[in-house]
Amino acid sequence: MNDISLLAYALLGLLQQEPRSGYDLRKIFASTPMGTFSDSPGAIYPALERLGKRGLVRSRIEETSGLRRRRLFRPTAAGIRAFKTWQTKTIVREDVIHSVDELMLRFSFMDETGSAAEARRFLKGLKSELGGYIPNLRRYLAKNSPDMPLSGRLAVESGIRGYETLFRWAKTAMSAYSKRKRRGTRR
């Protein structure tokens, strides 16, 4: 009942940056690294409609333009709350196994909708879960290697290396936040 799709959270995050139309959002998905999301109108317009029905966004028709009417969306207070709740959830093992994309989406909006302390808490949690999970994968591979074909072993190795890279990234990200804190700068 109260579950919101990943796409819907992405929309909610982007709308917190500035009010945008469905078309604006489609363009972002079509032309930036956020392009992991679908830019199809059949995904975006119904998703905005649903967010509206749940009271998480509201919209008004922009009238100034000479082109066809644009409908500009912005999050409501409830929408901002829902986003924040999602963004600051505790990271669990399940997240690193099945939802790394979701974790990165949460993090990518951290500066705009959260505090530096929340970013650091997020990175700490991520490091902790990865630190617990990676050895499991290594153990699995060591144990089952003899029975696996080369391609299977390599595929698992690829997954592990991806997690290791993420772990190292979390460390550098953490130190970037520490540096910023010491210098007291923004951006």
List residues binding DNA (CB under 7 A).
1, 3-8, 21-24, 26-27, 38, 40-43, 45-50, 65-71
CB of 32 to its own copies, least distance (A): 7
Own/partner long-range contacts of 20-28 (Cβ < 8 Å, ≥24 apart): 20/72, 20/73, 21/62, 21/70, 21/71, 21/72, 21/73, 22/48, 22/71, 22/73, 23/70
List, in order, residues 6 or more apart from 4 with CB less than 8 Å away: 12, 51, 54, 56, 82, 86
Picked from its own copies, DNA, none, the partner binding residue 66 (CB below 5 to 8 A depending on kind) is: DNA
CB of 103 to its own copies, least distance (A): 10
Query: Phi/psi of residue 61, each to 5°?
Result: -80, 130
Question: Does 5 participate in binding its own copies (rule CB under 8 A)?
Answer: no
The nearer residue to DNA, 68 or 143, going by C-beta atoms, is 68
CB of 108 to its own copies, least distance (A): 4
Other residues' Cβ atoms within 10 Å of the Cβ of residue 20? 20
Question: Does 119 participate in binding its own copies (rule CB under 8 A)?
Answer: yes
As a residue count, the chain comes to 187
CB of 1 to its own copies, least distance (A): 19
Query: Phi/psi of residue 31, each to 5°?
Result: -135, 10
Segment 53 to 82, residues that bind its own copies, using CB under 8 A: none
Other residues' Cβ atoms within 10 Å of the Cβ of residue 65? 10
The nearer residue to DNA, 49 or 112, going by C-beta atoms, is 49
Give 91's DSSP letter. Answer: P
Task: List interacting residues with its own copies (CB under 8 A).
Answer: 32-33, 35-36, 97-98, 104-105, 107-112, 119, 137, 140, 146, 149-152, 154-159, 161-162, 164-166, 168-169, 173, 176-177, 180, 187
